[in-house]
């Protein structure tokens, strides 16, 4: 199944309790269409799956946006923003969702962050696109 189709089905599973808006750049859709890059497509799906689950359960979000694109630095970017309650004031103990996201991103030598937003949270994962487009290595910047 193509990544765009799988993500639309995943997003639809959260309605009506949480509205999920999905925006995939055309270049990303084409680059990840089967046979494409199955490991990357699976990683994106699993990161979105965990991000949505955390938004719904821990953030009590009623809305979430997912955007996937190539930025001006030719990096592949996944960004999720929700309208939930955000992080608690005390430090957060990484749970299973964080572990799953970290494992997928690290297995591909990418980077990710979870930051408070004006409302809710923003999860961002980034990878150098030359690895995606040319079958090369992922860049790591931490």
What's the token pair of residue 113?
């962050």
pLDDT for the residue numbered 34: 75
Helix (H, G, I), strand (E, B) or coil at 46: helix
Residue 139 is assigned to a structural domain of this protein: no
Label residue 91 by pLDDT band (50, 70, 90).
low
Read off the CATH number of the domain in which 80 is found.
3.30.565.10
pLDDT confidence tier of residue 141, bands split at 50, 70 and 90: very low
Residue 56 lies in a domain: yes
In a domain, 118, yes or no: yes
Could you tell me the two tokens for 12? 């639809």
Residue 142 lies in a domain: no
* 17-67 tens-digit pLDDT: 999 999 998 888 888 877 777 788 899 999 999 999 999 998 999 999 999
Q: Is the pTM of this model over 0.95?
A: no
Which pLDDT value is given to residue 136? 31
- Give the domain extent around 89: 3-134
Residue 81 neighbours by CB distance under 10 Å: 23
Task: State the distance between the two ends of the chain, measured CA to CA, in whole angstroms.
Answer: 32
Cβ-contact 94, 58 below 8 angstroms = no
Count: domains in the chain: 1
pLDDT digits (tens, 9 = 90+) for 105-123: 988 778 998 888 878 888 8
pLDDT at 26: 87
32: phi then psi, degrees, rounded to nearest 5:
-105, 5
Give the whole-angstrom CA distance, residue 17 versus residue 88. 22
């Amino acid at each position: 199944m193509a990544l765009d189709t799988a993500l639309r089905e995943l997003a639809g599973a959260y309605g009506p309790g949480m509205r999920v808006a999905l925006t995939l750049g055309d270049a990303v859709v084409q680059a990840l269409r089967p046979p494409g890059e199955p490991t990357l497509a699976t990683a994106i799906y699993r990161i979105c799956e965990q991000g949505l689950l955390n938004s719904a359960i821990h953030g009590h979000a009623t809305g979430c946006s997912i955007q996937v694109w190539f930025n001006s630095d030719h990096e592949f970017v996944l960004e999720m923003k929700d309208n939930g309650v955000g992080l608690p004031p005390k430090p957060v103990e990484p749970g299973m969702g964080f572990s799953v996201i970290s494992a997928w991103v690290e297995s591909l030598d990418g980077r990710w962050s979870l930051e408070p937003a004006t409302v809710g949270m923003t999860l961002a994962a980034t990878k150098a696109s030359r690895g995606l487009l040319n079958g090369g290595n992922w860049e790591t910047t931490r």
